[in-house]
Amino acid sequence: MPHFDLSAITHNLSQIGAGFATTLWMWLVSVLLGAMLGFVVALAQQLGGRFVRALLRVYVELFRGTPFLVQLFLLYYGGPSFGLTLTPAMAGVLALTLYGGAYFAEVFRGGFASVPKGHLEAAACLGLTRMQAVWRIQSPQMLALILPALSNLTIVLSKETAVLSVVTVPELTFVLTGIGSATFAYVQTLLVLSACYLLLVELATGAGNWAEKRMTRFLA
């Protein structure tokens, strides 16, 4: 029977912990910035003119219609051609933010569209401005409706952080695949990698379920 040696893991726990921390903060920052960007884009599509909506539609379709890996390569390797020189971490966060922002924008746009128009008409009759109606009427209602979609998108972005290893971001995948290549402990490192991403997914799922229960109770 072959011996399942975990020494490659136990001897490199500090490196793995640092890689996990890098993955965690890049994921959280990208989700936060991407959600903010997506909300602004969806709001501008609601309130902006035809030209603004068309321009934002191009952004959404461009980033949803091309692979994330290609976008990352263009930012990191192609950026210097346009005077944009980024570190691997900066390129990773920016790429994840722009990529996630396009998907968040579609989620928020669908949420805004799901609120009955009669609610907006009632708000106008009460003297609320369009922005006040969006903030006080549309946003709370649509947030409760789109929380499952937001949670799912957050999970997707957690796994997209693995792609950042191709531009040498020292995140979890980069660290563990490097350890596997150096020690030939490929099975062990890949199992640990899978367990770490599963942990991130479970954390995101738990947070999403908690937020959904809180929001549903608040609206009830």
Whether 132 is in a domain gets the answer yes
Whether 1 is in a domain gets the answer no
pLDDT of residue 3: 56
Q: Does residue 26 contact residue 164 with C-beta atoms inside 8 Å?
A: yes
pLDDT in tens, 127-184: 777 777 777 777 778 887 888 899 999 999 999 999 999 999 999 999 999 999 998 8
- pLDDT band per the 50, 70, 90 thresholds, residue 52: very high
Structural domain count of the chain: 1
pLDDT of residue 217: 63
Query: C-alpha distances in angstroms, 138 versus 34, 107, 131, 171?
Result: 20, 14, 10, 38
The structure's pTM equals 0.89
Whether 100 is in a domain gets the answer yes
Mean pLDDT across 11-26: 95
Give percent of the chain above pLDDT 70: 95
Indicate the range of 70-84, 103-117, 147-161 predicted with least confidence: 103-117
Whether 144 is in a domain gets the answer yes
Q: Is the pLDDT of residue 30 over 80?
A: yes
Whether 77 is in a domain gets the answer yes
More confident residue, 115 or 33: 33
Whether 194 is in a domain gets the answer yes
Q: Which two tokens stand for residue 172?
A: 């979890």
CA–CA separation, 91 and 89 (whole Å): 5
Looking up residue 209, the CATH number of its domain turns out to be 1.10.3720.10
Whether 29 is in a domain gets the answer yes
CA–CA separation, 8 and 177 (whole Å): 11
Q: 172-183 and 186-219 helices cross at what angle (nearest 10)?
A: 160
Whether 2 is in a domain gets the answer no
- pLDDT band per the 50, 70, 90 thresholds, residue 1: very low
Classify residue 128 as exposed, middle or buried by CB count within 10 Å of its CB (0-12, 13-18, 19+): middle
Domain span holding position 109:
7-219
More confident residue, 67 or 135: 67
Q: Is the pLDDT of residue 36 over 60?
A: yes
